[in-house]
């Protein structure tokens, strides 16, 4: 695994810990359907939450959450549709983004609920 991938995985670990501390139940990590991947799937109350995590070490090019492209959103939605069918989920769903900024000096986490649908 190259350093960028391991940096991204560290961001996902930070995000999963953050969500667990907020009372979310992490039920899947790195769920794959064909070429699509959902970083984290959680249950909060009666809502199934599909979460895209973006991790950056610099804000020179913008905030981490701004790097979720329209194509990525559509990919997450496709994978979520498959997951819903696979698990026969009948409840509410939501799509969130967790933005993790981490450099040598500090770490910031932002949670954007209902970020796309």
Q: How many domains is the chain built from?
A: 1
Q: How far is C-alpha 69 from the geometric centre of its chain's CA atoms? A: 13
Count CA atoms within 13 Å of residue 62 on its CB side.
6
pLDDT tens sequence across 66-116:
678 889 999 999 999 999 999 999 999 999 999 998 777 888 899 999 998
Element (H or E) spanning 81, and its range? helix 70-87
Range of the domain at 93: 3-112
Tokens 């990590």 found at: 29
Element (H or E) spanning 18, and its range? helix 3-21
Residue 8 has pLDDT above 80, yes or no: no
| Residue 13 included in any domain | yes
CA 15 – CA 55 distance, rounded (Å): 9
CA 78 – CA 74 distance, rounded (Å): 6
Residue 65 has pLDDT above 80, yes or no: no
Residue 4 has pLDDT above 60, yes or no: no
Model confidence at 2, pLDDT cuts 50, 70, 90, reads low
CA 76 – CA 31 distance, rounded (Å): 10
Residue 20 has pLDDT above 90, yes or no: yes
Q: What CATH number does the domain containing 73 carry?
A: 3.40.1350.10
The vertex-28 CA angle with 27 and 30, nearest 5°, equals: 165
* 70 against 9, higher pLDDT: 70
Q: What is the mean pLDDT of residues 13-36?
A: 95
| Residue 117 included in any domain | no
CA 93 – CA 50 distance, rounded (Å): 8
| Residue 38 included in any domain | yes
């Amino acid at each position: 695994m190259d350093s960028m991938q391991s940096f991204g995985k560290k961001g996902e670990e930070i995000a999963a810990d953050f969500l667990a501390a907020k009372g979310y139940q992490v039920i899947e990590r790195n769920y794959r359907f064909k070429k699509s991947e959902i970083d984290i799937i959680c249950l909060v109350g009666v809502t199934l939450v599909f979460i895209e995590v973006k991790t950056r070490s610099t804000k020179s090019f913008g905030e981490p959450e701004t790097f979720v492209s329209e194509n990525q959103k559509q990919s997450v939605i496709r994978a979520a549709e498959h997951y819903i069918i696979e698990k026969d989920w009948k409840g509410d769903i939501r799509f969130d983004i967790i933005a993790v900024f981490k450099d040598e000096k500090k770490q910031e986490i932002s949670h954007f609920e209902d970020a796309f649908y």
